[in-house]
Amino acid sequence: MLTKSAQGILAMAGASFIWGSAAIYFKAVGDVQPLEMLAHRTVWSAMFMALILGVQGRLGAVRALLSDRNERLRALGAAGFLTINFLVFIWAVQVGRAVESGLGYYIFPLFAVALGALVQGERHSTTKWVAVALAVLAVGVLTWGLGVAPWVSLLLAASFSVYGLIKSRMRAGAVVSVAAEVWLLTPIALVFLAGAHLAGWSVSFGPGAGMRVGVFGTTLVDSLLLIVAGPLTAMPILLFSYATQRSSYAALGVVQYINPTLQVLVATLLFGEVFTGWHAAALALIWLALALYSAESFRQGRAARRAVSKAVPQGLTGT
């Protein structure tokens, strides 16, 4: 029988595996324009989330969230940054820059440390600031070596960090809040899909040539592939929500690195993307930064648990 913590770690590993291998799916639908793909991802994930919450009898929780003005505004802001993150990721896979995408999700937790200090006034240890400095150095190495800033990595890290910051201020749990976010975006997605199918709307950036418009319904395989975007988006979120209820964030933080590791492996081994010595040097610096960050997070987690245990009167511990 697995402990609750072990169940949480396995759930996080499952979520990270889905996120890390998702590029394979988006490569398979790589001839669908990014905005149309994003619209399908939004619509089908909204329907899938509605099905899950309906079975759980929790649809009212989403309505309650959206009826609160402040929560609705936070959900709308989160939805905007989630849209940026999804769109950049889809585009990066389509144009052969999935390696940069993986590096972005490596940088994300370190980016979040800096953002938390700047926006929320969080105080971090010297070790964590050293980790952030190493991540900055890694970006500098890539910029110097490749002759251009890794803006895909930076956009993904920044958008997901801001998304997480907004989410931290929402009262609802992960599943309910994500459902609210995609439901707010669904009307816009449906309008775009209607325009793509009925009027041939096309917004091309990046690959451009060879992109298909109004793909859903052309063949059974195409339609099924687009529908898969729903569970592919929602399942890891459900697993992540399950994991956070059972394991410490420090433990889950280490496991989540499966995601960017798989992204880089898929990009190089399956897609044949170039992985230069500059990429290797930057990745080594990022791994060192993450090792310091993870070790410090574990240390702080243990210290916090010891402080709580000392603060609880012995008569209340049941021993």
Mean pLDDT along residues 208-220: 80
Question: What is the rounded CA–CA span in Å between residue 33 and residue 94?
Answer: 9
Q: Is 208's pLDDT higher than 80? A: no
Mean pLDDT along residues 4-23: 91
Give, in order, the Cα–Cα distances in Å from 291 to each of 50, 127, 294, 295: 39, 10, 5, 6
pLDDT of res. 319: 38
Least confident of 156-160, 240-244, 273-277: 240-244
Q: What is the pLDDT of residues 269-303, one digit of tens each?
A: 999 999 999 999 999 999 998 888 888 877 876 77
Nearest to 160 by CA among 46, 19, 301: 19
Return the domain boundaries, the chain: 4-200+212-306
Residues of the chain with pLDDT > 90, as a percent, come to: 56
Mean pLDDT along residues 182-187: 95
pLDDT of res. 316: 46
Mean pLDDT along residues 97-111: 91
Q: Provide the CB-side half-sphere exposure for 155 (13 A, CA).
A: 18
Q: Is 255's pLDDT higher than 70? A: yes
Q: Please, are residues 55 and 238 in contact by the beta-carbon 8 Å criterion?
A: no
Give, in order, the Cα–Cα distances in Å from 53 to each of 73, 164, 186: 21, 22, 17
Sign of the CA dihedral with 186 first, then 188, 194, and 196 last: negative
pLDDT of res. 207: 55
Stated pTM of the model: 0.88
Length of the chain: 319
Q: Which residue has the higher pLDDT, 306 or 139?
A: 139
pLDDT of res. 311: 60
Q: Which residue has the higher pLDDT, 112 or 205?
A: 112
Q: Is 82's pLDDT higher than 60? A: yes
Q: What are the beta bridge partners of residue 32? A: 212
Q: Determine if residue 258 is left, alpha or beta; phi over 0 gives left, psi from -120 to 50 gives alpha, anything else beta.
A: alpha
pLDDT of res. 200: 83
pLDDT of res. 282: 92
Q: Of 51-55, 114-118, 121-125, 142-146, which has the strongest mean pLDDT?
A: 51-55
DSSP codes of every residue in 38-92: HHHHHHHHHHHHHHHHHHHT-HHHHHHHHHSHHHHHHHHHHHHHHHHHHHHHHHH
pLDDT of res. 318: 45
pLDDT of res. 300: 75
Q: Give the chain's mean pLDDT.
A: 87
Q: Which residue has the higher pLDDT, 190 or 254?
A: 190
Q: What is the pLDDT of residues 47-58, one digit of tens each?
A: 999 999 999 999
